[in-house]
Amino acid sequence: MPKPKFIENLLVDHWNTVQEVSPPLRRFPEGETWRSTPKLLKLRRYLNARRAIAAMKRGAGPLSSYPTYLTIDPFSACNLKCPLCPTGNGRITLKKGRLQTEMFRHIVDEMGTYLYNIDMFNWGEPLLNKDIYAMIAYAHKRHIITSVSSNFHYFDAQAAERMINSGLDYLILSIDGATQATYEQYRVGGDLDTVLRNVGTLTDTRKQLGSSTPYIFWQYLVFRHNEHEIEQARALATDLGVDEFKTELAFLEVDTREKGERWIPRQPQYSRYNLAELDTVWRVEEAKQAVAFAPAVTMPGRAPGVALDLLPARPQADPGKPLRRRLPDCLWLYTTVVVNADGSIAPCCAVEKKEDSIGTLQGGGTIGGVWNSKEYQAARIYSTRGAESGVETVCHHCVLAPAEGENR
Mean pLDDT on 220-231? 96
Residue 165 is predicted with a pLDDT of 97
**Distance, CA of 98 to CA of 105 (rounded, Å):** 14
CA separation for the pair 272, 257 (Å, rounded): 16
Closest CA to 377 of 347, 352, 403: 347
Mean predicted confidence (pLDDT) in 213-241:
97
What's the gap between Cα 237 and its chain centre? 23
**Pairing relationship of beta strands 69-72 and 117-119 according to DSSP bridges:** parallel
Measured from the Cβ of residue 380, the count of other Cβ atoms closer than 10 Å reads 27
- CA gap 42, 367 in Å, rounded: 21
Q: Quick check: 164 pLDDT over 80? A: yes
| pLDDT tens-digit map of 143-155 | 999 999 999 999 9
Average pLDDT over residues 391-402: 86
Instruction: Give me the pLDDT at residue 15, please.
Output: 85
pLDDT band at 26 (very low <50, low <70, confident <90, very high): confident
Per-residue model confidence as pLDDT tens digits over 177-192: 999 999 999 999 999 9
**pLDDT at residue 291, rounded to an integer:** 63
CA–CA gap between residue 114 and residue 33 (Å, rounded) = 15
In this predicted structure, which of 3-12, 189-198, 217-226 has the lowest mean pLDDT?
A: 3-12
